[in-house]
Amino acid sequence: MSTTLAPPPPRSFAAKWRDFWFAPGDPTTLGFIRVVAGILIVYLHLSYTFDLYGFFGKYGWYGQEYVNRDRHEYPSQAMPLNDTWDDVPAAADVPEFPHRKKAVVDFINRLPADPARRADALRYLNRLLMTNNSEAGRAGLRYLLMIFENDDRREEALRKFVADAPALGEAPKAPDENAAVPALFQPMPKDERQAVADEIRAFIALLYAPPPAGGRARDPEDARYVLQHLVECDHDSLKAFVRFLVALPADPAEMERLTGYLAYWHAEPSRTVRIGHPIFSVWFHVSDRPTMTAIHFGILAVMVLFTLGVFTRVTSVLTWLSALCYIHRSQQVLFGMDTMMSILLFYLMIGNSGAALSVDRVVQRYRAARASIRRTGGIDEPTRAFLAAPPPSVTAGFAIRLLQVHFCFIYMASGMSKLKGGAWWNGNAIWDVMVVPEFTLLRYPWYEQMMNVIAGSKPVYYTFISCGAWFTLFLELGLPFLIWTRLRPVMVFMATLLHAGIGVLMGLNLFELMMMAMLLAYIPGGVIREWIRGKVGGKPLGFRFDGRSAGGGRAAAAVAAADLDGVVRFDPAGEIAAAPVLTVADGTPAAREAAFGTLAGSLRLLRGLWLILLLPGLRGWLTRVMFPAAPAGGEPTPPKRGVGGPSRPTAAS
């Protein structure tokens, strides 16, 4: 007989794709990630308690008025889809510096409401734009800068401007760049210059115009700021600015809205792809402290339930939405850790992360055992398999794949972006990262001394930083490929090493713990179960019960739910027991309280709950559930109609 296995039949790409993404996966991995990430997330949000009002309150670092305006009005702008190389779009803008911005905005607000009058007053600017020559236009504006300030000098200059026009029939002279009159106007005949002078007068009158509601004329300095802004605009920007001015509606309220938007966002609403941010948060709407505190602790309670795996399908969604409430409200306080958290929560919500290592799983174990006892009077083979390990599920496998692939994206992007920096090529980046005083341990003299020792010897220094940079680059660029090979354990170990190192040396411990939680996605569920199970010791226990009685069935199901390691052997009573009995290894039965004590000492789940079992009445209640008293007369209670299987216990249990 040949020992060589036949090669597997070739599979299509579609089959490989399907098997990669949609093969059922062990939910233990996802459940373990939920527990680890849940603890970190609860901590992360608990730490907000100290800064709840400072970060999310009305007068937070990023105040509510700012964030509300942000989410309602923020302009998303994009280059046009079908522009040409020559057609670079420009938008109207106002100066960045507050005093200059105010002058320009005031100028816009004082424009005539009547579009015809407004267009008439802006004829000079349109004339400059029609030249399609940026420098000529700028010269025309600089000319205004020279003459705008003093009425008498301006009138004198304009009279001269008209008077110096070439006489009719005179041969045009070559433009003189040094002359006061811009080259653009030099060849113009007298009547055309007269028209230009009138346009200049109209525009300058606009610069000094009082507000429409009445008031004093503008300061010459403000007028200068407006002119300087126009000079600083390139041809396209000036064109866009004038277009904006001309297109302003006649309705004063609408005009003010558009001007206000331009002043605040430096954008025109009509030239945006979208306005506002698609974000939500309870902190946009709540600002009084007692309510904020109550909501915050309510959210923490939901997160604790999620971590424990209580109603995980619901609490995972609520936890994700709650975390986004904090994230969306105050992005100024976020860093990489929050990004990792949102990734983890998103995928933990997609997969059923409560199918393992959760209260939900304990409840399922109880329900499965109870159903089996009802069906068969004992715990049948499928149920025992179900109790031994959570069943694989497509959503669990899918969520784990999403996490794995996303992690590769993170590493690849991080590694590729580092290749742009010279400091990662020559290694100096490692030093720069390790001596940032605000992040690292440099405030401790011993750390500074250590850095001194490294820097004190060139060979040591260069070996250290080069190896550090190479290790980082190799890992970030190599892991996305090598993690899918048999080198996976090595890559996981190296990545853990990297994150542990960053966490300790740079203080970004929670960020790195989040990254490590993501790394858990590469660990098979069986391995995690083995880690958690450890070495199961202790003497085996027996649990004799009457599978036909409701109390006995409930008791056995409760014990089966709590027996995570399968140390209890269930005996559905060859001879009918009036009440469930726990037997230790030598077959000695234990009394009710003693029996529960033995169980609580032997089953890991109950051992882990010792603190909770101290709650008054809980221990007694559990004792009554697991070891109910024999019914009066000792007769077993028949199972409910329609839910039980055969009343005789089966050998399979």
Partner 1 sequence: MERDAPPPVPPRLEDVVPPPEPAAVYSVAAAGLGLIGVAALLGLAVTLIGDRAPWPLATARLWLVGLGAVVTGYAVSRRPGLPGVWLLAAVTAGLAVVGVPATWDSFRLLFAVLAVVAAAGAGVVALPPRWRVRVASVLVLLHFGGIFMATTSPETQGSSPWLTHQLFTRVYYPYLQFIYQRNAYHFYSPEPGPASLLAFMVKTHTGERIDRNGITVPTYDREWYVIPKRPDDVKDPLAVSYFRRLSITEQTAGAVPGGYGHVLFEADEARRRRQLARYYDEAAQEERAIPFHPFEQALAQYRVPFPNTLRYTLPSYAKHVIHERTNGGDERAPRTTVMIYKLVHSTVAAHELARKRDPVAPYAPSTFRTFFLGEYNSSGELVNPRDAMLYWQMPIYPKESAATGVTGPPDPDEYVDYLSLHAGQKFDWRSLR
Q: What residues between 242 and 281 interact with partner 1 by CB under 8 A?
A: 264, 266, 273-274, 277-281
Stretch that binds partner 1, among 72-80, 146-154, 168-176, 177-185 (CB under 8 A): 72-80
Distance CA 457, CA 455 (A): 6
Q: Which two tokens stand for residue 222?
A: 């403000």
- Conformation bin of residue 132: beta by default, left when phi > 0, alpha when psi is -120 to 50: left
108 binds partner 1 (CB under 8 A): no
Cβ-based nearer residue to partner 1, 220 or 608: 220
Cβ-based nearer residue to partner 1, 211 or 421: 421
621 binds partner 1 (CB under 8 A): no
Site for partner 1 in 80-99 (CB under 8 A): 81, 95-99
Strand, coil or helix: 422 = helix
DSSP string, 451-498: HHHHHHSHHHHHHHHHHHHHHHHHHHHHHHHHTTSTTHHHHHHHHHHH
Q: Which two tokens stand for residue 31?
A: 């459940």
In angstroms, give the least distance from the CB of 425 to partner 1. 10
Site for partner 1 in 287-316 (CB under 8 A): 311, 313-314
471 binds partner 1 (CB under 8 A): no
335 contacts 515 by C-beta, under 8 angstroms: no
For tokens 């402290």, what's the residue? 289
Cβ-based nearer residue to partner 1, 391 or 597: 391
620 binds partner 1 (CB under 8 A): no
Cβ-based nearer residue to partner 1, 216 or 443: 443
432 binds partner 1 (CB under 8 A): yes
482 binds partner 1 (CB under 8 A): no
HSE-CB for 488 with a 13 A CA cutoff: 12
Distance CA 235, CA 242 (A): 11
Q: Which two tokens stand for residue 438?
A: 């605000």
Site for partner 1 in 334-373 (CB under 8 A): 334-339, 342-343, 346, 355, 364, 367-368, 371-372
Task: With CB under 8 A as the rule, give the number of residues binding partner 1.
Answer: 135
Cβ-based nearer residue to partner 1, 42 or 600: 42
Beta bridge partners of 581: 544
Radius of gyration of the chain measured on its C-alpha atoms: 39
Distance CA 146, CA 158 (A): 11
In angstroms, give the least distance from the CB of 501 to partner 1. 13
Site for partner 1 in 379-408 (CB under 8 A): 382-383, 385-386, 388-393, 397-398, 400, 402, 405-406
149 binds partner 1 (CB under 8 A): no
Site for partner 1 in 449-468 (CB under 8 A): 451-452, 454-456, 461
- Binding marks (x or -) toward partner 1, 3..32, rule CB under 8 A? -------------xxxxxxxxxxx------
176 contacts 186 by C-beta, under 8 angstroms: yes
Cβ-based nearer residue to partner 1, 249 or 298: 298
Choosing from 524, 542, 631, 645, the residue that interacts with partner 1 (CB under 8 A) is 524
- At residue 117, φ and ψ (nearest 5 deg) are -65, -40
Cβ-based nearer residue to partner 1, 194 or 414: 414
In angstroms, give the least distance from the CB of 210 to partner 1. 23
Cβ-based nearer residue to partner 1, 165 or 528: 528
Following CA atoms 51, 56, 58, 60 in sequence, which dihedral angle do they give, to the nearest 10 degrees? 60
**Which long-range CB contacts under 8 A does 609-616 form with residues at least 24 apart?**
none
332 binds partner 1 (CB under 8 A): yes
Stretch that binds partner 1, among 64-72, 110-118, 146-154, 237-245 (CB under 8 A): 64-72
Question: Who contacts 259 (Cβ-Cβ below 8 Å, separation ≥6)?
Answer: 105, 108, 109, 248
640 binds partner 1 (CB under 8 A): no
Distance CA 393, CA 399 (A): 10
Choosing from 54, 252, 269, 646, the residue that interacts with partner 1 (CB under 8 A) is 54
579 contacts 630 by C-beta, under 8 angstroms: yes
Cβ-based nearer residue to partner 1, 44 or 139: 44
- Binding marks (x or -) toward partner 1, 30..49, rule CB under 8 A? -------------xx-xx--
Within 330-457, residue ranges assigned H as helices are 336-350, 359-376, 381-388, 394-418, 422-426, 428-434, 445-456
In angstroms, give the least distance from the CB of 599 to partner 1. 23
360 contacts 311 by C-beta, under 8 angstroms: yes
In angstroms, give the least distance from the CB of 536 to partner 1. 19
Give, rounded to a whole angstrom, the gap between the first and last alpha carbons of the chain. 39
Cβ-based nearer residue to partner 1, 29 or 549: 29
